[in-house]
Amino acid sequence: MLFHIHMVVRQPSDLADDEFETLKAAEKNRAQDLMRAGKWRHLWRIAGKYENFSVLDVRDPDELNDIVRSLPLFPYMSFQITALCRHPSSVRDDDT
Amino acid sequence: MLFHIHMVVRQPSDLADDEFETLKAAEKNRAQDLMRAGKWRHLWRIAGKYENFSVLDVRDPDELNDIVRSLPLFPYMSFQITALCRHPSSVRDDDT
Amino acid sequence: MLFHIHMVVRQPSDLADDEFETLKAAEKNRAQDLMRAGKWRHLWRIAGKYENFSVLDVRDPDELNDIVRSLPLFPYMSFQITALCRHPSSVRDDDT
Amino acid sequence: MLFHIHMVVRQPSDLADDEFETLKAAEKNRAQDLMRAGKWRHLWRIAGKYENFSVLDVRDPDELNDIVRSLPLFPYMSFQITALCRHPSSVRDDDT
Amino acid sequence: MLFHIHMVVRQPSDLADDEFETLKAAEKNRAQDLMRAGKWRHLWRIAGKYENFSVLDVRDPDELNDIVRSLPLFPYMSFQITALCRHPSSVRDDDT
Amino acid sequence: MLFHIHMVVRQPSDLADDEFETLKAAEKNRAQDLMRAGKWRHLWRIAGKYENFSVLDVRDPDELNDIVRSLPLFPYMSFQITALCRHPSSVRDDDT
Amino acid sequence: MLFHIHMVVRQPSDLADDEFETLKAAEKNRAQDLMRAGKWRHLWRIAGKYENFSVLDVRDPDELNDIVRSLPLFPYMSFQITALCRHPSSVRDDDT
Amino acid sequence: MLFHIHMVVRQPSDLADDEFETLKAAEKNRAQDLMRAGKWRHLWRIAGKYENFSVLDVRDPDELNDIVRSLPLFPYMSFQITALCRHPSSVRDDDT
Amino acid sequence: MLFHIHMVVRQPSDLADDEFETLKAAEKNRAQDLMRAGKWRHLWRIAGKYENFSVLDVRDPDELNDIVRSLPLFPYMSFQITALCRHPSSVRDDDT
Amino acid sequence: MLFHIHMVVRQPSDLADDEFETLKAAEKNRAQDLMRAGKWRHLWRIAGKYENFSVLDVRDPDELNDIVRSLPLFPYMSFQITALCRHPSSVRDDDT
């Protein structure tokens, strides 16, 4: 089932730059693993912001919770989470 | 280029039911034409609400504006529009 | 899976009183059917308001969507919907 | 009497990780004691967030106040508290 | 037990003036009955607004709910309700 | 004349615990002096929060200002202040 | 004593134009009477809006309430009211 | 031309008390110079808050900008700025 | 002097379509007259919305007020108005 | 294509003054390079605030994103970004 997530990264002012770069590299690896596994279906950057819109395909809210908490940048992000369902007007196979 | 749109339909209280049904049918036709033309890339209903998240693929903001204003339900919808760009972590070809 | 819903009824000013009473009676019947079927797990009135907190147990967001839209008062309610998951500190069997 | 509480944990940036883990373990113990005593009736995690929805069954607002302030994470949480009452449509015995 | 209520009256535009005056007179009677019965402990008008701050002394949230819904102006008011408890610094007997 | 104040204490994260306890004890003394002097007419704790609703009886806004600024916790509190007047429906002598 | 009021006029859509003009003329007369009586100390229009900032000089909140409710446009205005006091840095005699 | 400014001072937690007192004294001097020069037309403290409402009389927005940025407390204040114009109902000469 | 205005048109539900078209045509004429006179310096439509960002070049806030109120759609628009000044980093002659 | 950006600089409290001045000088240089290149079409300071309204002319949202992230003050700014399109009432050649 699909969940839409608006992720906002808050750049921590008391985190050393290299430590933040390390976290971002780990985040990228984790995100790409989840994309290749089909769990993270879409990922778009919001132009000009440290934010993204994502669509996750999970078994249930527990898996959604596990994935979000496994992200290396989790402590520095806020999340707005919305359950999606099939739109009766969609003609695309991959909108489900 | 991609724009993310959060569409909210406000059901008009002074619009007769059959007139609203006619508008919804026209909206569905128009949306499906735009999906088949590759302009309306994604369309997901927000569970339990008369709202959707959409991703449009347009030439420029003028085309975005023309498409949104061409929707039969335009006078009864509000729109939150966000410009998207390629996320450096995405591994999907269709996230651009 | 569980979803928490905050439901707010907007009393329509242009709806005749007896028509509204008819809708409320239908709403009560529908809610009780769903409670007996185990779909509507909890229902609490917010003291002093025409609002409630509910917990629904559904198969997926599509079923959640179908249930919410089937409510007779649907056109006169707004919904804030939140996906729940098991809390690691809960000791209750029915919190899942 | 029942109160619905939306609890949000703010992770303190200037609190050492092990000190926070100690507080979380104490919080879990306290919460489970209150659940076993029938005071903390429900506890659901909000998927993907460090937040929960809870239902407490207390004698009066003073006891509610005492319980909330006794939580080890109290200084790092915010609370939205709502008094509940019996919903005339509920068929469940435990919704009171 | 005490609840603090911020009441806001929305003057209905489609209600005839004399009907509204009748409702206001009924509201005054009902409020004064509740004050004399010790249920409505305090009532202050917010200067320059059609709003008041009230303190109600009720048995439980169900009684609070019954009282609020019994007000003749109930359909035209919104309520912000807050549970109060004894403040450890208060020296007044009637603040409980 | 009466003013209603919603006081919210922000617990300072960079203030040592014992220093905060000293301030709270001083605040309690100051509040009780003002209550005994008839200036601080009501003081209720908001259940589960570090907030209170208060009613002050002052000569004019200048005295209100002097009292609020004299509170030991003033630098750590925010205030929402509302001028009250006699409600025509009140039957209580002490609501003026 | 001085109160600062931000007044916002909501143009009623179901009020005939000539009736509104009559109300505005009455409002102007009433405002000018209060200005000449020294009660309405300042009145500035907010550029480009049907709003004003005003300063009233009244005996107490009850008089403030009486004045505001006596305005012919009262049913069509909202008010944000703030108690003022002497600023220790002011050198103007008329800022009190 | 007149601008209405709502100034809010944020007391900096990491600023030493004596340094803040020095800034406040400088702010008072600067404000009084501007008042005597006729640039700062009105200054009222909001009762019980570290905020004020001011009216400035400037040549143009550039001068407004220069004055506001010249205030010693500028880095610790936020400003809500509103352009004023003559109200057709005002009878006061100094409301322009 | 320059003011930035965010204009939002609220489509009136009780206004006949042809009457609204007549108003829009009059609005266009008035806007173009003001643009040719150099008063309305910039006008951009916000893509997908019945809103625009404008920059007006006026003598003072009174002229700004006169212009805004002269717009045929004035009763159906809301305005967010911001005074602009020369930015020290701008290299463009027409940004003043 | 044009994007309207509302930029707000948050003055970092833990950044040394000279380091901030260095960043501001770099920001000015970068902004002026972009203005000379025709990418940063307009830049106005909001009077009395550390904020500006800007209009950027970019190839697509990716370029917008690259430009915004290249600003030396990027970590200390927030951005509200709006896609613009040609307004049918504009008579100016440079509003496109």
- Residue the block writes with tokens 């019954």: E66
Mean predicted lDDT score pLDDT of chain D: 94
Give the confidence band of E26 by pLDDT, cuts at 50, 70, 90: very high
Separation between Cα atoms, residue H20 and residue E66, nearest integer Å: 53
Separation between Cα atoms, residue E54 and residue E43, nearest integer Å: 5
**What are G44-89's pLDDT values in tens digits?**
999 999 999 999 999 999 999 999 999 999 999 999 999 999 999 9
Q: What is Dmax (Cα atoms) for chain A?
A: 48
What secondary structure does DSSP assign to C80-96, as a single string? EEEEEEE-TT---GGG-
Separation between Cα atoms, residue I1 and residue H3, nearest integer Å: 14
Q: Which of H3, H81, H85 sits opposite I65 (nearest CB)?
A: H85
Give the confidence band of H67 by pLDDT, cuts at 50, 70, 90: very high
Give the confidence band of H78 by pLDDT, cuts at 50, 70, 90: very high
Residue C18 has pLDDT above 80, yes or no: yes
> Which residue(s) pair with E85 in the sheet?
F45
J11 CB within 8 Å of a chain A CB: no
Give the confidence band of G17 by pLDDT, cuts at 50, 70, 90: confident
> Which residue(s) pair with F45 in the sheet?
E85, F52
Q: Are C85 and C12 in contact (CB under 8 A)?
A: no
Q: Looking at the complex, report in whole angstroms how far the Cα of residue I21 sits from the nearest Cα belonging to chain H.
A: 31
- The residue in chain E having the minimum alpha-carbon distance to the alpha carbon of residue G70 is E48
Q: Percentage of chain C with pLDDT > 90?
A: 85
**What are F21-42's pLDDT values in tens digits?**
999 999 999 999 999 999 999 9
G35 CB within 8 Å of a chain H CB: yes
Which chain E residues touch G75 with a CB distance below 8 Å? 11
**What are C42-85's pLDDT values in tens digits?**
999 999 999 999 999 999 999 999 999 999 999 999 999 999 99
Q: According to the model, what pLDDT value does residue D94 have? A: 83
Confidence check on the interface: ipTM exceeds 0.95, yes or no: no
Q: Are D39 and D88 in contact (CB under 8 A)?
A: no
**What are A26-59's pLDDT values in tens digits?**
999 999 999 999 999 999 999 999 999 999 999 9
CATH ID of C2-84, from 3.40.718.10, 3.30.70.1060, 3.10.129.10, 3.40.720.10: 3.30.70.1060
D46 CB within 8 Å of a chain E CB: no
- The residue in chain J having the minimum alpha-carbon distance to the alpha carbon of residue A12 is J75
Give the confidence band of J95 by pLDDT, cuts at 50, 70, 90: confident
Under an 8 A CB cutoff, do F61 and G83 touch? yes
- Residue E16 CA to chain centroid, in angstroms? 24
- The residue in chain J having the minimum alpha-carbon distance to the alpha carbon of residue A11 is J75
Q: Mean pLDDT throughout B80-93?
A: 94
User: In this structure, what token pair is assigned to residue A88?
Assistant: 């009766």
C-alpha angle with apex A3: A63 to C54, nearest 5 degrees? 85
Q: Are C52 and C44 in contact (CB under 8 A)?
A: yes
Which chain B residues touch I47 with a CB distance below 8 Å? 61-62, 64-65, 68, 81
Q: According to the model, what pLDDT value does residue G94 have? A: 83
Q: According to the model, what pLDDT value does residue A13 have? A: 75
**Phi, then psi, of I82 in degrees rounded to 5:** -135, 125
Q: Which long-range contacts (C-beta less than 8 Å, at least 24 apart) are formed by C39-42?
A: C39/C63, C39/C67, C40/C67, C41/C2, C41/C94, C41/D92, C42/D42, C42/D90, C42/D92, C42/D95
User: In this structure, what token pair is assigned to residue A45?
Assistant: 């950057």
CA dist H46 to B93, G41, G87, I77, J11, Å?
58, 17, 8, 32, 26
Q: According to the model, what pLDDT value does residue C3 have? A: 98
Q: According to the model, what pLDDT value does residue F32 have? A: 97
Q: According to the model, what pLDDT value does residue F26 have? A: 97
Which value, to the nearest 10 degrees, does the dihedral of the CA atoms of residues D42, D46, D49, D52 take? Answer: -20
Q: What is the pTM assigned to this prediction?
A: 0.94
* Touch C-B: 3+ C-beta pairs under 8 A: yes
Q: According to the model, what pLDDT value does residue D16 have? A: 86
Within 13 A of B53's CA, how many CA atoms are on the CB side? Answer: 22
Q: According to the model, what pLDDT value does residue E94 have? A: 83
Q: According to the model, what pLDDT value does residue H95 have? A: 84
Under an 8 A CB cutoff, do I87 and J45 touch? yes
Q: Which of J64, J85, J86 sits opposite B83 (nearest CB)?
A: J64
Q: Residue C56 belongs to what H/E stretch?
A: strand C51-57
**What are H2-18's pLDDT values in tens digits?**
999 999 998 777 788 89
B5 CB within 8 Å of a chain I CB: yes
Counting as low any pLDDT under 70, the low residues of chain I are none
**What are D17-45's pLDDT values in tens digits?**
899 999 999 999 999 999 999 999 999 99
Which chains sit next to A, with 3 or more Cβ pairs under 8 A?
B, C, D, J
Q: According to the model, what pLDDT value does residue I2 have? A: 97
Q: Which of I35, I52, I90 sits opposite J91 (nearest CB)?
A: I35
User: In this structure, what token pair is assigned to residue B40?
Assistant: 């309306």
Where are chain I's structural domains?
Answer: 2-84
